[in-house]
Amino acid sequence: PKPQTLHPKPRGLNLLACVVAFMYSSAWVFPVLIVFGGICTYIKEIRDGKPVAEAPGKEGIESLGVPKAVGAFLILTWLAILILTIILRSTMEYEGSARGLFWFESFYRTGSIIFGGGQVVLPLIINELVQYKESCVTDIKGKEICETVPDYEFWGRFDHPEVNSWMTEAEFLAGLGLAQAMPGPLFNISAYLGALAASKAGVNALVGVACAWFGLFGPGVLVIYGALPFWGTFRKWPVYRRALPGMNSAAVGLIVASVFSLYNKVRSTSPFPDTAVAIGLIGFVLVELYKAPAPAVVVLGGILGLLGTALKLKWVDG
């Protein structure tokens, strides 16, 4: 079949979502952009007088899942946990046994508002794990130049009492490379991140794994099984059918924004930024054009990184 393409309006939404998400990587910006995209195409189709697009096929969903009462209970449970953990976290300090709540709430909240796939969640997660401060210096002309840096770089060491980051950007990116090389969904990176955060806090790593993994996967499981009994009816709802193109377009824009956001992180943390970008380009071509298996490309990237380190290709001192 002929591949579908985005109409001009959704293309514009794609660009807008990408730019806004890249510039303002706040957790609540993402769902707002999705809703905004849906509203735009809904209004446009109403204004143009277009008939509602029919839902493709029957899918047999009407008879799957749990009863509607159980589905409603699961959705309410998801909302109750989200609200409760946010409130509890706001009343506690990051110390002692409360750390587990902080880890669970961060990943649960992130998993609750995400739309568009595993890649979209990465900028949100790294902003939860790494805290940033504005660092300003004065150049020889007396002009003040400011940039945002991780707090452990601002204070000079990770164990400084003012550092609130749970790990470094380099540690996060190392886990991302590991998760990409392993089978299973990208969300499995949460197990690595939880274990690392717990280890750095002096807590059993399994506690961090449980908090992060269940926190990130939990919302999706509850919402999917909760919504499934209603899906056969919801998918035919005219408002949803008209809003869907804009929502999908905004979601694609979020994915593109996450690519550039991670590109900046990789480049800024690498001791040889230009070489790191070149390795990334090689990996992209191998996977996209030559269909090379992702695990093999990740391993190759590691080997090229070792070579770049040994040869100090485009090395940045300091």
The Cα-based distances of 65 to 68, 76, 263 in angstroms read 9, 17, 40
Residue with the larger pLDDT of the pair 231 and 194: 194
Amino acid 61: pLDDT: 56
Can you tell me the mean pLDDT for 44-61? 74
Quick: pLDDT tens for 59-79.
555 556 788 899 999 999 999
pLDDT at site 289: 93
For residues 157-175, average pLDDT: 89
- Specify the pLDDT at position 5: 43
Q: What is the rounded distance in angstroms from the CA atom of residue 7 to the CA atom of residue 95?
A: 51
pLDDT at 4: 43
Q: What is the pLDDT averaged over residues 18-27?
A: 86
Alpha-carbon span 217 to 107, nearest angstrom: 9
Does the structure show a pLDDT above 90 at 198? yes
Once rounded to an integer, what is the mean pLDDT over residues 134-153? 81
pLDDT above 70 covers a percentage of the chain that reads 92
pLDDT, tens only, 89-118: 999 998 888 899 999 999 999 999 876 667
Q: State what percent of residues in the chain have pLDDT above 90.
A: 39
Backbone phi and psi for residue 279, each to the nearest 5 degrees, phi listed first: -65, -40
* pLDDT digits 0-9 by tens, 123-137: 889 988 999 888 887
Instruction: Tell me the two tokens of residue 292.
Output: 């090379």
Note the pLDDT of residue 318: 45
What pLDDT, on the 0 to 100 scale, is given for residue 56? 67
Decide if pLDDT at 3 tops 50: no
pLDDT of residue 181 exceeding 90, the answer is no
> Which pLDDT score, from 0 to 100, does residue 95 have?
85
Residue 37's φ and ψ, nearest 5 degrees, are: -60, -40
Give the pLDDT mean for 224-249: 88
DSSP annotation string for 1-25: -PPP---HHHHHHHHHHHHHHHH--
- Kindly state the tokens that stand for 70: 């159980």
What's the pTM? Answer: 0.83
With CA atoms as reference, report the closest residue to 85 among 63, 64, 109: 109
Average pLDDT in the chain:
86
